[in-house]
Structure 1
Amino acid sequence: HLWGRPYECDKCQECFSQKKTLLIHQRMHSGRSGRVLWCSYSGKTFSHPSNLIRHQRTHTGERPYQCNECPKRF
């Protein structure tokens, strides 16, 4: 899992690009996260709403951003 994500969770093997993101994620396993958000499509959990929204786009195919130079959407 070295594709720019060298920090691996020892509980679920999910990988992160930043150590601080891993530490936030690990709080979910310890029950100290406060609020855990989960994807209704896959069951994957998130501690930040923006990460959940970005992840859910992989399921819905939503591409909310459009290039200013061409009709391509992202």
Structure 2
Amino acid sequence: PYQYGECGKSFRKKSLLICHQITHTREGAYQCGECGKSFRLKSLLICHQSTHTREWPYECGECGKNFRKKSLLSV
């Protein structure tokens, strides 16, 4: 696991840790209209926005669980 020292959150992938670190920097051109968090990449903003809308369009045919990103849907 990868842990971020500033807040103590742990992530199973280094890429998820890096995405999380960006949320702490508050530097970014893309800002969430719902909560004000800023992101350097538009794709990170879009991913974040789904936490507010709960729009998780990718459904697993095996268990019925939904995911925000197609890459997270795997068997």
Question: Into which bin does the TM-score normalised by the smaller protein fall?
Answer: 0.5 to 0.7
- Map residues 30-49 of structure 1 onto 2, 5 A cutoff: 36-49=29-42
- Structure 1: 4+ residue segments shifted above 3 A: none
Q: C-alpha root-mean-square deviation of aligned residues, in Å?
A: 3.0
Percent identity between matched residues is 40
* CA distance in 1 between partners of 2:25 and 2:34 (Å): 22
Unaligned runs of 5+ in 1: 6-15
* Structure in which a larger fraction of residues adopt strand: 2
TM-score (norm 2): 0.55
Pair member with larger Rg: 1
* CA distance in 2 between partners of 1:45 and 1:27 (Å): 5
TM-score (norm 1): 0.56
The 3-state SS of whatever aligns with 2:57 is: coil
- Map residues 8-27 of structure 1 onto 2, 5 A cutoff: 17-18=17-18, 22=21, 26=25
How many residues are paired up? 56
